Amino acid sequence: MSEEVALRESLLAGIPHEWEIPCRHISWDTEKPLGQGSFGTVFLGRMLRNSMPNQSRVGTMSRVLSKFTPDNKDSTMLVAVKTVGPEASADDIREFLSEAAFMKNFSCHHIVRMLGITTSEQPLWHTPPALVMEWMALGDLASYLRQRERRDDCSDGVVKPKLALTWAAQIADGMLFLSDRNLVHRDLAARNCLVDKQLTVKIADFGLARCMSADEYYRRRGQTRLPIRWMAPESLNQSYFTTKSDVWSYGIVLWEIATFAALPYSGLSHEQVIAHVTQGGYLDLRDLPARLPSVL
């Protein structure tokens, strides 16, 4: 076995063959990215509906596929396609594929689903793989909330409590799925939750979120980008992440829902936020609608 083949098999070891989607059965527009993540860029793509081999072996996936477009006569479906850049190293590809190996085990209605992965007979660093995921038509929750604030379907200038509580429950369900499996998200925020046409919210991984702004992420400890405005005190102090720190971030997400995705701790610099939170401070709830602070 050549060194090249051995490396390829090592990189793909965590991805069962039934998840493979032929490259020729999927296309995407590289000029129109949906978002940028730590290990890849996400594009809107189109995939042949019958392109997934051995669908019956992927558990509930066939039921998931059936809902993507209302016209069953359509031979293709819209999907989100995440790829690594052509400059990706073997280590970058290994990180990318480890994410796919991780996500193939997710089977929760409130977590964005992986549909499959495309690889190539060519060396993976010549033709990088692509991760195919369900497409969430209304984008990320933060952007959706900001757009909704400018529309007329809000109740007294706030998100309708019933809708807010529905979203809160959906996100909690997805996070419970992770915590039951001792998994920590570490970057839960409204920008990392996606919305489908039925207004169902699902938790996404970093790559499916839209590009993060400088106001939301802070560079610390070298080149690491930290979402400090969503981080718990112990995470800021000790880089310690647990389910409990995810619960803190979940509280920030509830605040985002109540404020149409306002910037947490607006008016404070990154350094001031770190000092404020590590000294026992938290978000001000006084200006929120009366029905929401009790839930928060």
Active-site annotation, residues: 187
Distance CA 220, CA 222 (A): 6
- Annotated binding-site residue? 284: no
CB-CB contact of 134 with 52 (8 Å): no
DSSP 163-189: HHHHHHHHHHHHHHHHHHTT---S---
Q: Helices 90-103 and 3-11 meet at what angle, rounded to 10? A: 30
CB-CB contact of 69 with 78 (8 Å): yes
- Annotated binding-site residue? 192: yes
- Tokens 């992986």 belong to residue: 114
- Tokens 């527009």 belong to residue: 29
Structure tokens belonging to residue 110: 């409130």
Residue 249: strand, helix, or coil:
helix
Distance CA 91, CA 285 (A): 44
Distance CA 249, CA 288 (A): 18
Q: Say which amino acid occupies 224.
A: T
Question: Distances in Å between the alpha carbon of 188 and those of 70, 128, 251?
Answer: 31, 28, 10
- Annotated binding-site residue? 105: no
- Tokens 């660093």 belong to residue: 125
**Can you say which residues are annotated as belonging to the binding site for ATP?**
191
